[in-house]
Every structure is written in C-alpha cells, then in structure tokens.
Amino acid sequence: MKYVLLGVIMLLSVSCNQPVSQTRTKNFPRQNRFVEHVPNNKNVWVFIMAGQSNMAGRAFVEPQDTIESPRILTINKNNRLVYAKEPLHFYEPSMTGLDMGLAFGKEIIKNIPDSISVMLIPTAVGGSTIDKWLTNKEHRHVELLKNFEDKVALGSSYGTIKGVLWHQGESDTKDTLAIVDYDKKMSQLFKTFRKIINNKQLPIVVGEIGAFSNNKANWKRLNSKIRSYSKTDDFVDVILTSDLSDRGDLLHFDSKSIRILGERYAKSMMLFLSL
C-alpha cells in the first residue's frame, strides 16, 4: 500500500509542477484553417478589438472556444485570413488567453442576415495605458496606434469597418492623477479612431473595468470617467461589469465572464447597427 500511495504522491507532484504556460495553452488549437473562399467585400462586417489585457484575453481557453464558424473570420500573426478560434490575439504569446472576440462574433451572427460574415481584428496589448495609445508609443514591441491604423487598412480591404470594441483602463488606475483627464483622453482617442476609419459616427462599445480589484476606489473613479464620457458621445455605449468575476488574480475576467462580456458587447453593438 505504501508504494501505491508513494506513486500517487509522485503523480500529483508532477501534475502540480507543470509549467503554467503548458496548462494555459492546453486547449489552444494546434492549427487554424485558412479562408480559401473569401466572402464578397460588401458581405463582410469588420470589428476592431482594442485596449489592454482584458481585451487581449487572459482567461482560460476551453474546447468550446475553439469551435469555428464559417461566418466568423480573423487574422493570424502573418495577416492571413483564417476562421476564428480562440485565442485571437497573438502579440503576447506567453500570456495570451481567451478573449471576448469569438463570443461577440457568435452573438452578432445570430442577429444579422445569413449572407453576412463577421471579421474580428485584434489590436489590444496588455498593460497599455491610454496615453500610450494616444501618442503611438511602442508597447511590448507594438506601436499601438500605428498597428491599429495598419489593421484598419487590412480590414477595409476585406469589408466594412462597423465598429470598435474598447476595453482599457486598469493600467491607468495605478496613478490617481492619470484618472483625472481620462474622459478627455477617451474623447481625443476615439476621434482619432474615427478619423483613421473615416467615419465620424463609428460605434464604439466600451466595457467598464471589473469590480473585483483591491484598488476599488481608483477603479470606481475610472469607471465613473468612462460613464461620464459616454454621455457626451451618441455613438458610444458602456457595458456594465459589476456582476462579473475575476480569474483569481483580481485583475482579469474569468472564462465565463469574458464570454458574457462578448455577448454584451455584441448586443450593444447591434443597437447601433440596427438604427
């Protein structure tokens, strides 16, 4: 019996000592399927995903997140068109996890004509502040605004840019002074996004940062700034997150919550697209 117990203990020890990255990537797809028959340009609705880590994706990818749809497209790191499987973002391969993109896409295609395909373009990079986006700073080897502009050009070659999904702000809560003008910075950045896309009425859906931080006072202040700005922009909607959960790090949404976020972003976006 003692040898059996010893064997079990050794197996548990090996399992517990598995590298975090190996566990994180357990369900990552081994390959993505290229889109051989690209839909007609007029039948592709393009959405840009921008912001920091909760948009880039840090939740655990489960098998259900890797089931592709012929109507949901994205790009790989080489800008090749592929059918979307999570994770969509590829800028931070050692950290990337489940983002809200596929859940967003699945909800959108429920509510639009069968002839329309959705294209999701990732541009979010974890840890990026709004100032870095505004000034096109290089962050984790990505020139944020320049990359956004490049991806808009790429998306426009396949279809029509219909909206931007924005989730950012956690990094700005580290300094109370950074929160003071956050709403003004949002206004400036979103004007820049719309200028790049050449659409002054482009819908932008913004998610609140989660309610689970230890730094609750600053997170509440920043969410207040987000809501304040949204009241001045008829083409911005804010997604509530107070009922959602973190993955255990008091920073990033868990898998269930990130899927719910994706669905909420989609329902909000559809309000603009159905006008």
SS (H, E, C) 186-233: HHHHHHHHHHHHCCCCCCEEEECCCCCCCCHHHHHHHHHHHHHHHCCC
Flag whether pLDDT at 22 surpasses 80: no
For the chain, domain boundaries: 2-273
Q: Distance between CA 104 and CA 156 in Å, rounded? A: 20
User: Confidence class of residue 19 from pLDDT cuts 50, 70 and 90?
Assistant: very low
Q: How far is CA 40 from the centre of its chain?
A: 26
Residue linked to tokens 């974890």: 126
Cβ neighbors of 157 (< 8 A, separation 6 or more) are none
Give the distance from CA 204 to its chain's centroid. 13
For residue 14, the model assigns a pLDDT of: 33
Token digits of residue 18: 């598995």
Angle between helix 255-273 and 101-109 (nearest 10): 40
CATH no. of 2-273: 3.40.50.1110
How does residue 274 score in pLDDT terms, banded at 50, 70 and 90? Answer: confident
- Mean pLDDT of the region 22-41: 92
CA 16 → CA 13, 26, 38, 61, 84, distances in Å? 5, 14, 44, 19, 31
